[in-house]
Amino acid sequence: MNADIIHLARELAVKLIKQAGLIALERFDNFEHISSKDSFGDVVTEVDHMAEAIILKGINSTFPDHQIHSEEAGDNGKSSDWLWLIDPLDGTNNFAIGLPVFTTSITLLYKREPVLGVVYEPMTDRLFESCMNKGAYCNGREMKVKRSNHFKRGNIGWIQGHKVQNDPKAVQLRRHIDLNFKRMMRLWAPALQWCMLAKGDIDGIVLYNSEGDDLYSGVLMVKEAGGVVIDFDGNPFTGMSEEPYLIACHPDNKDELIKVVKEGMGPI
């Protein structure tokens, strides 16, 4: 793994993500086009495409041999150990209804392991960064996952894939989490929830079959902030998965969260 590439990639990602975020900021509550993306209610706006174009142009110019997969444009068809994942507007549905909860997410993976994650929240001008083995930061301040002595009084973020909808197991687990914690949060902006966990603003995340271009920046962010990211059986999550079922929190709280999830995944 080339440290020079990661250093250059970080500088580039920060520059591009702020440019993309400025577009979203300027057009928030003032965009022109919105269309349905699939039969599950997901939508796309011209801001998604405009932000994506800026990011793709910058990466292709600097790293022409790298593989890129982006939320709207798909895969560039190249084969490389280096893979960029781009979500130009994570939280498009929020953006479309005038809810100011959305980010842009850029991740760089090497041999399918995330090594760089950059997330930008334009409405608050918060820049989240993480590099493998170098910690996680929000606007230059180091982030740490919070340990809770009263875990069940905490806030748990819920993330599910678009196709999950009202799958009976998911509904059962959502309800169980809702009943066992102070609050279960569904932001529909997954990258931001991961950053909130890394920053210590929430206590945990339960992710139900949600793999996408926004996932791996958040996973790296939490790990680098001292958190654990594990599957529902408690095994460490590494690499990539097409159907991830994940738990994330402070290491000292993982057994309690695993217990709640196993209880919630019991017989319907």
Place of tokens 């022409």: 64
Average pLDDT in the 67-81 region? Answer: 94
Domains 3-142 and 151-264 agree in fold = no
Comparing C-alpha atoms, which of 230, 264, 231 is closest to residue 250? 230
Q: Are 204 and 94 in contact (CB under 8 A)?
A: no
Q: Between helices 215-224 and 190-199, what is the axis angle to 10°?
A: 0
What is the radius of gyration, based on Cα positions, of the chain? 18
pLDDT at 39 over 70: no
Domain ranges of the chain: 3-142, 151-264
User: Sign of torsion, CA 119 236 131 139?
Assistant: positive
Contacts of 249 (CB under 8 A, 6+ apart): 145, 197, 203, 204, 205, 227, 228, 257
Report pLDDT digits (tens) over 192-245. Answer: 999 999 999 999 999 999 999 999 999 999 999 999 999 999 999 999 999 999
pLDDT at 79 over 70: yes
| Pairing outcome for strands 74-75 and 67-70 | antiparallel
Angle, CA of 189, 249 and 241, to the nearest 5°? 65
* CB-neighbour burial class of residue 258 (10 A; exposed 0-12, middle 13-18, buried 19+): middle
Report pLDDT digits (tens) over 148-180. Answer: 999 999 999 999 998 898 999 999 999 999 999
Give the H or E element holding residue 52.
helix 46-62
pLDDT (0 to 100) of residue 228: 98
Tell me how far apart the alpha carbons of residues 86 and 52 are, in angstroms, rounded to a whole number. 8
pLDDT (0 to 100) of residue 149: 93
Assigned fold of 3-142: Fructose-1,6-Bisphosphatase; Chain A, domain 1 (3.30.540)
Assigned fold of 151-264: D-Maltodextrin-Binding Protein; domain 2 (3.40.190)
pLDDT at 31 over 90: no
Q: Work out the number of other CB atoms within 10 angstroms of the CB of residue 57.
A: 11
